[in-house]
Structure 1
Amino acid sequence: MNSSKPVHPRQRRIWDISAPVRVGTPVFPGDTEYAQEWNATISPNCPVNVATITLSPHVGSHADAPLHYDPNGATIGDVPLEAYIGPCRVIHAIGCGPLIQWEHIAHAVADLPERVLVRTYRNMPVDRWDPELTAYAPQTIERLADLGVKLIGIDSASIDPAPSKTLDSHQVIRRRDMRVLENLVLDEVEEGDYELIALPLKLVTADASPLRAILRACS
């Protein structure tokens, strides 16, 4: 009788890069804040707690759908999922200023995978709105697309400057058929290559979706 225990593959480290979502989580000025109330609570006459939540799909870490910046774009529930899972590179551009220019990431663009996340904060402000958030320069996104990148992400609330009305970087995403993640928390993530898993909910009429986004160490 063989009494040896089964051999399990070595577990890979996971980094949770999702922003916490709760009452008080910052939102883009004018957007719907997170709210929660209890419809049922555990008591002698009720076996469960059941909550109702109200929120913008852009609260916390989220994926924008093409519908967010294109009136004829796909909803997040109709976007194919392939871009949201797979090899990914995290690049640091901490304190680079208002826009991520090519020179801020050029040191780490050799042999890029199809997914790139850029860390701009030393500590991402999960408890306050930052009107001076760092965004992507549109030309940087164009060059990433030329290298085969299909998804970009950032630890700030938008890939465009907060006051922008033209959303130039979002329009590059639209034209190049790319995907975008915003409000990631990359504080504990070193530069390098990982596996990204950041699946949006199947919200079939929505312009975005919250995420539980993780990075996993490469095997």
Structure 2
Amino acid sequence: MRVVDLSHPVETGMQVFPGDPSVSCRVATTVEQDGFEVTELHLGTHSGTHMDAPSHIVAGGATIDELSLGDFVGPCRVVHVPDPGARDVIGWGDVREQLADLRPGDAVLFRTDWSRHFGTAHYLAHPALHAEIAQHLLTAGVRVMGVDTLNPDHTPHGEHDSGELPFHERFLGSGGVILENLTNLGDVTWPDPVLCALPLKLRGLDGSPVRAVALQL
């Protein structure tokens, strides 16, 4: 079995969505002084490679612990969008051919290779997916999608940015979930990969970090 890690490491000071809680990892006890080591973590639910539950933007939507784990282990499709520019909008016409013959329950992961900018200011200027893609995925029975960027929508920048989230609203609003900050999608080179991306069982919360991997079984 081959395993490709699709997750960024969680570490102190890592890049987060603007305004989200910062990430810190602080040693609370040590083997030398206390006989055991424990680390105190401070982070938001959307830190690093993570999953958005519907309740992230939908009042009364499903929380992360209410979602079915069976949805997060199964076949996936990696869609390659080569060399998009900063703040480009990727439309349905750009990906239609790679999304032929989707099966209900497939996960779809969009590879832009923007993850190479993770940790830099340029990462915030990532391309976005048009909301029409969300509708086509939902119509095909897709309930799990992911991106190797900070956001399938544009991340707000500047005081005149509207901050609208049309892809989130369409996809999460219909009960889907979104994986963000994926990486290493270019290493998934075999047909019919299997995605495993399990969130923590955080009761009543809107999202969770995940350890996402692609498997060749």
Q: TM-score, normalised by structure 2?
A: 0.88
Deviations 1:130-184 (A, max 9, x none): 2211221100111121122121100001111102522111111133221111100
Question: Do residues 111 (structure 1) and 101 (structure 2) align?
Answer: yes
Aligned partner of 2:74 among 86, 89, 107 = 86
Tell whether 2:147 aligns with 1:154.
yes
Structure holding more helix per residue: 2
- Equivalent in 36, 50, 53 of residue 62 of structure 1: 50
Which residue does the alignment assign to 1:179? Answer: 177
- Please give the secondary structure, in 2, of the residue aligned with 1:211: strand
Matched, 1:189 2:179: no
Match of 1:124, SS?
Answer: helix
Give TM-score scaled by structure 1 length: 0.87
Aligned equivalents of 2:132, 2:23: Cα separation in 1: 34
Aligned residues: 206
Matched, 1:132 2:122: no
Aligned: 1:100 with 2:90? yes
Give the drift of 1:94.
Answer: 2.5
User: Post-superposition shift, 1:123?
Assistant: 4.8
3-state SS of paired residue (1:190): coil
Deviation at 1:191, TM superposition (A): 7.3
Alignment-mate amino acid for residue 139 of structure 1 = E
State the superposition RMSD in angstroms: 1.7
Shift in Å, 1:118: 0.5
When Rg is computed on C-alpha atoms for both structures, the one with the higher figure is 1
Q: Do structure 1's residue 51 and structure 2's residue 39 form an aligned pair?
A: yes
Rate the CA distance shift 1:151–1:123 in 2: closer, same or farther, 3 A.
closer
Alignment partner of 2:59 out of 59, 71, 75: 71
User: Using the alignment, how far apart are the partners of 1:160 and 1:122 within structure 2?
Assistant: 14
Corresponding residue SS for 2:93: helix
> Runs of 5+ in structure 2 lacking a partner?
157-161
